[in-house]
Structures are given as structure tokens and as C-alpha cells.
């Protein structure tokens, strides 16, 4: 059966899909969805309630801990204790002590959630330090706490709810050692519980904050400061979740009426009863299925074309089957492969042509160096009988062997610098040690491949033109370093330099790609452009009487492995 389906056209597959979907709808309408979805809704509602209460509980817990920490900072402030102690001993004026203590309090951060801060000194009226409502005498609870027989230095925190304002207050006794100095009271404002007011547990859900069986917060403020047993009726009629705060064992209780959850289930059941109407929507569904089966392979082909347009010629569109689109995709893959092979062939031909041009350019380099060196060796043999001549001959033979060899167009930086040093040794002998040089090469670039003899023409130019007046001697500095994917080589001399007009003329000749003055520099620039691309090249900094600096900008890879790889593929094709 499957084999028969496999070889048939697309329309048979569409018919088969339509039949399967129709059968699934009939089975699902038999009642399976109703029971399954009802259970999912109940479990999901309870899970969402638990997660919501847990998240809100963590935030409330953190807020209470912050308020507690701020209150302890006030209570443990030694400056504040000293003023209270002096006040208790009647050695300081009440108003002065109040002013100085208030200065200490208002320096605290995070006061935006605090409504009032009071301190009740021993035997003195209350101090209104940070407040919206001033008080002038202690209430009964405060008096009871201050006169109660408690162990000296107790750290206990007392939380209460103000009967009139429903503000939550915390109170802490202030001690200096075992001496009681007063009581600190901090009232929280309504902003502190804004997040609890904004909590939405369904349409009719509620959140309660309970401490020691006392309701500290409720959306319905009438329930505040009442016993937790007053919630029993509400809790019994709903689904509740309790989260215990780390701070003093407070509880956050979330309640959603059961009727609200049942209403959600009933709504889903009504939808399931109307599933008969879905049969009429199958015409639309059938159209969507057709579009999907047609557009999916078309999108694959389009993505393949976009990849080719972006230069990703190795794209392969995969599709199994024997329908019309599979045939089109196979032909597309074959076409992409042939185009890729053709472009690689053209690229290899262009590389070969560029190599020939580079070799041709290399052959144009000034041969005066060879003639001057041979002449120098000759006169050294006539005038002097020293081992220095042998060193010169060894350096010359090494340079000749390195220059004439065409086995590798690319060499490592360390190899090229070694040959450049041989060249400079001979030139230093030629100028009777009036020429000096130094290399500053980053060891990290030693194994990076660069074109052979790339930097030597620049050194030749420096010796030939920069040091025409060698009375005081000349210095050449060669630097090399890498920045990211870019390699920089610099040749700097302390010669006569060039005027700005000549530097600008050289830069202009780079743009025109013409071979005028400065043939050595032009040849170096062309080699870099051929091998690395137009965005790479060289820059010149020079000033008359202050020397010249030429910087080469290359890539840390010259693309040799990819070229050789494509060459092998073309030869196999």
C-alpha cells in the first residue's frame, strides 16, 4: 500500500491526508477531549496559582528583610545611641538631640516605602524624625513594650497594624549594652504593598499576609488585624496555596474560588460541544494542507537560490520522494553543483594569471643590489684580508639561493626576516658600519605566511634614497605585529624624508594604479593588492628631515590552503 502511495502524484497524497484528518476528528469528537482538557485546566490552574504566590512571596520576603535591615541600622547607630544616652542623663537639650538624630536617619537609602520613623526616648516625648503624621505621646502598646520586663539587649522585632490607618509598623527597643535608651518605630506606607494590591489571581482571587494567626494585609482592609480564623469560610470555598516566608515565618496565602475554576472548565466543555462546526471548517483546513504541501518544497528551492545569490555555492537542497517537486530539486542541486565547479575553475585560472603577474613584477625588481654587493666583495678582497669577506660571501649566497628559488611563493615571517637581516649585514659592510638596523618582531607572528621578499624593496629604497648623505650614519627599524586578523609590517628610517607633495603624489599613483616614480613601492603595493585584495596595501608617513615610515597591512592568512583545495577539486573534475 505504502509503495503504491509513494509513486503516485501529489493529489493522491492530499486525498489521503484529508481522509486521515476526518477520521481523527470523528474519534476526538467522541468525548476524549472533554475529560482530558478538563483535567489539564484544573492542574494548570493550580500550578499557576502556586507559582504566582511563590514569586510574590519571595518579593515580599525580600522587602521585609530590607526594612528590617534599615531599622537595625538606625537602632545600632552609635551616634544616635550617644545622643539618646545624653538625653536620658539630661546632659543635652531635647531639640538639639532630636535634630542630630534626625540628620542620622534621613541619610538612610530606600526610604520611599517608609511612611513614618519615630523614636520614643526614655522619659521624653516622641521624636518625629521622618513622618507624614506627627505624634506627641506614646500609645498604650508602645508604653507597654517600653515598661515590659525584657532581657537587656533583646533583639526582638514587634510587628503591629495601626487600627486607624491600617499601616504596618515594626518596633524595636534601643539598647546601649544593657541600658535601655528608647524604642524605634517604623511605619510602612501603602506603596510597600502595592505589588500585593496589583496581584490578580483570576477574576476573584485574593492574597493575604498572615503573621502569628493575625492578618497583616488583605485587599479588603476590613479583614486587616483580624484573626486568621475569619478566613476559614473563604478558604473552604476555594483553592488555596500557602507560601511561608523566610522572614519570621510569615505566611502568604493565595485563594481562588473553586467556582471560577469550574467556570473555565465549563467554557471549554461548551467549546468542545460545538466541535461539530469544525467539520464545515475542514474545507478551509484542506486548502491549508494543500498550500503547505506545495509551498514547503518551493520554500526549500527559494532558500537554495538565496544561498547561491549570497555566494554559498555548496548548497544542497535535500528532499526524498518521487513527486514533481523532488524532480525539480534534484535538477536544481545538479545545476548548483555545476555552477560551483565552473566558478572554482575560473577562480583557479584567475589565481594562476595573478601568480604569473606577480612573478613578472618580481622579475622587475632593481638588480643594483647584486652588482653593488659583488663590487664590494671584490674591493674587500683587494684591500683587506679578513674573515669579514667570508661572512659577506655566505650572506650573499644565502640571499641568491632564497631569491632565485620559486618553490614557495609564501614563506613564514621568521624566514623572510632572516633573509632581510642577511641583506642588511652586507649593506652595513658596504657602508663601513655607518648603517645600523634593529628588528622589533612580535614572536606570535613568526609562523604567519607572507609573500616572499615582500618587505626587502622598501629597505632597498630606504638605503638608496633616505641615506644619500651618510656622514652621520643611518638607522633602519623593522617592526612586525598582529591586530586581530590583520598583520602589520613597518619599515622606518631616520633619513632625509620626503616633502608632503611627494607623499601625496605617491598616494595618488596608488589610486590610479600607475607605475611612475617609486617603482619598488608600487610593485609591493600591487603584490599585496593581488594576493590579499584591494582593502589591503601600504601607507606612507614622511616629513622632510625627519625620516620616512612605510606600513604594510596584510591578513594573517593568505588564503593558500583554500586555493590549493579548489585546485585539487578542479583537477578531479
d(CA 209, CA 215): 6
- Are residue 300 and residue 441 in the same domain, yes or no? no
In sign, the C-alpha dihedral spanning 514, 516, 519, 521 is: negative
d(CA 8, CA 17): 14
Q: Which residues pair with 542 in a beta bridge?
A: 548
Residue 573 has pLDDT above 60, yes or no: no
Q: If residue 185 lies in a helix (H) or strand (E), which one and from where to where? A: strand 179-188
Domain end position, chosen among 344, 376, 408? 344
Residue 379 has pLDDT above 80, yes or no: no
Is 16 part of any domain?
no
Is 272 part of any domain?
no
d(CA 139, CA 444): 79
- Are residue 316 and residue 224 in the same domain, yes or no? no
Domain that holds residue 338: 291-344
Is 440 part of any domain?
yes
Work out the percent of the chain whose per-residue pLDDT is above 70: 73
| Cα three-residue angle 284-285-289, rounded to 5 degrees | 120
Cα 464 to chain centroid, rounded = 52
* pLDDT averaged over every residue in the chain: 77
Model confidence band, residue 480 (pLDDT cutoffs 50, 70, 90): very high
- Residue 390 · residue 377 · CB < 8 Å: no
- Are residue 426 and residue 551 in the same domain, yes or no? yes
The x, y and z cell numbers of residue 270, run together, are 461548551
Listed range (123-127, 177-181, 382-386, 513-517) with the worst mean pLDDT: 513-517
- Are residue 388 and residue 521 in the same domain, yes or no? yes
- Are residue 376 and residue 472 in the same domain, yes or no? yes
d(CA 314, CA 339): 10
pLDDT tens, residue by residue, 109-168: 777 888 889 999 988 999 998 888 888 888 888 888 888 777 766 667 888 888 777 788
- Are residue 322 and residue 395 in the same domain, yes or no? no
Q: Which residues contact 417 (CB under 8 A, 6 or more apart)?
A: 439, 441, 478, 480
Is 109 part of any domain?
yes
Q: What is the CATH number of the domain that holds 556?
A: 3.30.565.10
- Are residue 252 and residue 298 in the same domain, yes or no? no
- Are residue 502 and residue 552 in the same domain, yes or no? yes
- Are residue 390 and residue 445 in the same domain, yes or no? yes
| Cα three-residue angle 345-349-352, rounded to 5 degrees | 140
Residue 440 has pLDDT above 90, yes or no: yes
- Are residue 249 and residue 382 in the same domain, yes or no? no
- Are residue 426 and residue 457 in the same domain, yes or no? yes
How many structural domains is the chain composed of?
A: 3
The conformational region for residue 154 under phi > 0 = left, psi -120 to 50 = alpha, else beta, is beta
Is 13 part of any domain?
no
- Are residue 530 and residue 435 in the same domain, yes or no? yes
pLDDT at 385: 64
Is 485 part of any domain?
yes
- Which is nearest to 425 in space by CA: 450, 461, 389? 389
Is 266 part of any domain?
no
Amino acid at each position: 500500500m505504502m509503495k503504491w502511495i509513494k509513486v503516485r502524484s501529489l493529489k493522491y497524497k492530499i486525498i489521503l491526508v484529508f481522509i486521515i484528518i476526518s477520521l481523527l476528528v470523528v474519534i476526538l469528537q467522541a468525548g476524549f477531549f472533554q475529560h482530558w482538557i478538563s483535567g489539564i485546566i484544573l492542574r494548570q490552574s493550580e500550578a499557576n496559582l502556586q507559582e504566582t504566590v511563590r514569586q510574590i512571596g519571595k518579593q515580599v520576603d525580600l522587602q521585609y528583610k530590607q526594612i528590617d535591615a534599615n531599622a537595625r541600622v538606625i537602632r545600632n547607630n552609635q551616634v544616635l545611641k550617644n545622643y539618646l544616652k545624653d538625653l536620658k542623663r539630661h546632659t543635652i537639650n531635647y531639640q538639639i538631640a532630636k535634630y542630630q538624630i534626625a540628620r542620622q536617619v534621613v541619610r538612610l537609602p530606600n526610604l520611599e516605602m517608609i511612611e513614618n520613623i519615630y523614636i520614643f526616648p526614655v522619659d521624653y516625648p516622641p521624636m518625629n524624625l521622618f513622618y507624614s503624621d506627627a505624634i506627641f505621646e506614646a500609645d498604650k502598646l508602645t508604653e507597654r513594650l517600653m515598661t515590659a520586663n525584657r532581657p537587656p539587649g533583646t533583639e526582638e522585632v514587634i510587628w503591629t497594624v495601626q487600627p486607624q490607618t491600617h499601616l504596618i509598623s515594626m518596633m524595636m527597643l534601643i539598647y546601649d549594652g544593657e541600658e535601655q535608651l528608647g524604642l524605634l518605630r517604623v511605619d510602612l506606607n501603602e506603596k510597600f504593598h502595592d505589588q500585593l494590591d496589583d496581584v490578580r489571581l483570576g477574576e476573584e482571587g485574593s492574597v493575604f499576609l498572615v503573621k502569628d494567626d493575625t492578618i497583616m494585609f488583605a485587599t479588603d482592609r476590613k479583614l486587616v488585624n483580624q484573626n486568621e480564623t475569619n478566613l476559614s469560610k473563604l478558604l473552604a470555598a476555594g483553592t488555596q496555596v500557602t507560601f511561608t516566608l523566610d522572614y519570621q515565618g510569615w505566611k502568604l496565602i493565595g485563594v481562588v474560588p473553586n467556582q471560577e475554576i469550574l467556570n473555565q472548565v465549563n467554557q471549554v466543555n461548551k467549546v468542545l460541544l460545538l466541535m461539530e462546526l469544525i467539520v464545515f471548517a475542514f474545507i478551509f483546513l484542506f486548502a491549508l494542507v494543500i498550500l503547505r504541501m506545495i509551498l514547503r518544497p518551493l520554500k526549500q528551492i527559494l532558500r537554495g537560490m538565496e544561498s547561491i545569490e549570497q555566494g554559498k555555492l555548496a548548497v544542497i537542497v535535500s528532499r526524498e520522494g518521487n513527486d514533481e517537486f523532488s524532480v525539480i530539486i534534484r535538477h536544481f542541486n545538479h545545476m548548483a553543483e555545476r555552477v560551483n565547479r565552473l566558478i572554482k575553475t575560473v577562480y583557479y585560472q584567475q589565481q594562476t594569471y595573478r601568480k604569473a603577474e606577480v612573478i613578472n613584477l618580481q622579475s622587475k625588481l632593481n638588480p643594483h643590489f647584486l652588482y653593488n654587493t659583488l663590487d664590494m666583495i671584490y674591493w674587500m678582497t683587494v684591500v683587506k684580508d679578513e674573515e669579514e669577506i667570508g661572512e659577506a660571501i655566505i650572506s650573499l649566497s644565502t640571499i641568491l639561493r632564497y631569491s632565485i628559488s620559486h618553490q614557495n611563493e609564501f614563506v613564514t615571517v621568521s624566514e623572510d626576516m632572516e633573509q632581510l637581516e642577511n641583506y642588511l649585514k652586507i649593506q652595513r659592510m658596504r657602508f663601513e658600519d655607518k648603517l645600523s638596523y634593529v628588528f622589533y618582531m612580535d614572536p606570535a607572528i613568526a609562523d604567519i605566511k607572507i609573500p616572499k621578499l615582500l618587505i626587502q624593496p622598501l629597505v632597498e629604497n630606504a638605503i638608496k634614497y633616505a641615506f644619500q648623505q651618510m656622514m652621520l650614519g643611518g638607522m633602519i627599524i623593522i617592526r612586525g605585529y598582529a591586530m586581530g586578523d590583520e598583520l602589520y609590517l613597518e619599515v622606518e628610517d631616520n633619513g632625509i624624508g620626503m616633502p608632503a607633495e611627494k607623499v601625496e603624489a605617491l598616494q595618488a599613483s596608488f589610486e590610479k594604479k600607475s607605475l611612475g616614480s617609486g617603482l619598488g613601492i608600487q610593485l609591493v603595493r600591487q603584490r599585496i593588492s593581488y594576493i590579499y585584495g584591494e582593502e589591503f596595501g601600504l601607507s606612507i608617513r614622511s616629513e622632510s628631515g625627519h625620516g620616512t615610515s612605510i606600513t604594510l597591512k596584510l591578513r594573517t592568512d593568505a588564503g593558500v590552503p583554500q586555493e590549493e583545495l579548489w585546485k585539487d577539486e578542479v583537477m578531479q573534475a
